[in-house]
Structure 1
Amino acid sequence: MDKSSNKKQDIQEMRHLFVILSRQFGLLQKESSQCCGVTTIQSHILYEIKQGHHMTLNELAQRLCLDNSTTSRHIHGLVEKEYVVRLPHPEDRRYVTLELSEKGKALEEEITEMMTTSIMDMFKHLPEEKMTSMRTEIKDLTEIMRKSDMCCYPPF
C-alpha cells in the first residue's frame, strides 16, 4: 500500500471514530439536559451564556454555529421558562445581552454536575498521565478544526 492509500485509510478510520464519539457524547448530553426539561441545544445555550457574560444573540449564534432565528427561538423558550433574562447592553442600550437568571444558573449547574459525573465515570480507569495526554490532544484537535476552512461555520 502506498503512502496516499494509508493516509486515506487513516482519515476514514478517524471519521468513523468521530461519528461514534459525537453520537456517544451527544447521547450523554441529551440525557443530562432532557432530565432537566430542556433540549440539548438549550443546554448548550445555558453553557455558553454562563461562559460569556453580557453575550448578545449574534455572539451566541456564532458560538453555536446556528443562524440567528434558530437561536432566537431557543432563547425565547428559555426566557419563558425564566432560565434566561434579556438585559440592556451595559455599553450600548440599543443592544440586548443575555444572562442566566438564578433559576438558569441553578439548572446549568445541575447539568454541569451530571456531565462531570458521567465524564469522571468514563475516565475512572484511565491513568492520570493518559488523561493529561488525551486532554492535550483534544485541545489540539479543537484548534485544528477551528482553523479549517471547511469546519465550524454556521449553516445558512
Structure 2
Amino acid sequence: MSDIDNSKQLREVIRILERKLGVLGEFKTSCCGVTMAQCHALVEIGRAGDISLKELSEILNLDSSSMSRTVNNLVNNGLVRRDIEPLDRRYVTITLTESGNELFRSIEERMNSYFESVYLALPEDKRKQVLESLDILIGAIDKKNVVN
C-alpha cells in the first residue's frame, strides 16, 4: 500500500475514532450535562487550579472568541469564576466554583473509569504499543500545526 493510501486509511481511522468518542457531537450534553467544549474547559481549569483565558484557549486549540463564549456559559451556569488581576486588569484568571469542582471531579471519575475499561479491553501485549503510537501521532499533528 502506498503512503497516500495509508494516509487515507489514517484519516478514516481517526474519523471513526472521533465518532466513537463523541467528538463530533458538539451540541450533545453527554458530558455530565455540559457540551464537550465546556467539559474540556472544566477539566483543564480543574487540573490547573486557575488559568488565564489565553492559556486555556491555547491548550484547547480554540480561538479566543470561542473560548470566551464557552467560559461565559460556564460562568452563567455557576461552574467557573472569572477574577480580574488587580495589577493588570487585562489579565483574567478563571477558577472553578464549588459546583464546578464537583462536576470536574465527576467528569474525571467517569472518564478515568471509561478509559480504564477501554485500556483493559486492549490485548495486554499491545497496550504499551497503542499508547506509544498515540503519542507519536499527537507529536506528528503538533509538528504539522507548527508548520502551517
Q: TM-score, normalised by structure 1?
A: 0.79
How many residue pairs end up in the alignment? 147
Note closer, same or farther for the CA distance 1:149–1:41 as it changes in structure 2 (3 Å cut). Answer: closer
Q: Determine the C-alpha separation between the residues in 1 that align with 2:76 and 2:64.
A: 18
Q: Which moved more, 1:120-129 or 1:104-113?
A: 120-129
| Partner residue, 1:117 | 113
Note closer, same or farther for the CA distance 1:74–1:27 as it changes in structure 2 (3 Å cut). Answer: closer
Q: Which has the higher contact order (CA 8 A, sep 6+)?
A: 1
Q: Determine the C-alpha separation between the residues in 1 that align with 2:73 and 2:80.
A: 9
| Partner residue, 1:81 | 77
Q: Determine the C-alpha separation between the residues in 1 that align with 2:15 and 2:31.
A: 24
5+ residue gaps, structure 2, are none
Secondary structure of the corresponding residue to residue 2 of structure 2: helix
Q: Which amino acid aligns with 1:145?
A: I
Query: Is the Cα contact below 8 Å between 2:18 and 2:24 reproduced in 1?
Result: no
Deviation at 1:137, TM superposition (A): 1.4
Q: Please say if 1:97 is aligned against 2:100.
A: no
Q: Which amino acid aligns with 1:81?
A: N
Tell me which stretches of 4 or more aligned residues in structure 1 moved more than 3 Å. Answer: 27-30, 88-94
Give me the identity figure in percent.
33
Q: Which amino acid aligns with 1:56?
A: S
Deviation at 1:27, TM superposition (A): 5.6
Select the residue among 123, 136, 147 that pairs with 2:132.
136
Q: TM-score, normalised by structure 2?
A: 0.83
Q: Determine the C-alpha separation between the residues in 2 that align with 1:149 and 1:66.
A: 13
- CA root-mean-square deviation: 2.7
Q: Please say if 1:11 is aligned against 2:18.
A: no
| Partner residue, 1:46 | 42
Q: Determine the C-alpha separation between the residues in 2 that align with 1:66 and 1:38.
A: 17
Q: Determine the C-alpha separation between the residues in 2 that align with 1:33 and 1:109.
A: 17
Query: Is the Cα contact below 8 Å between 1:79 and 1:85 reproduced in 2?
Result: yes
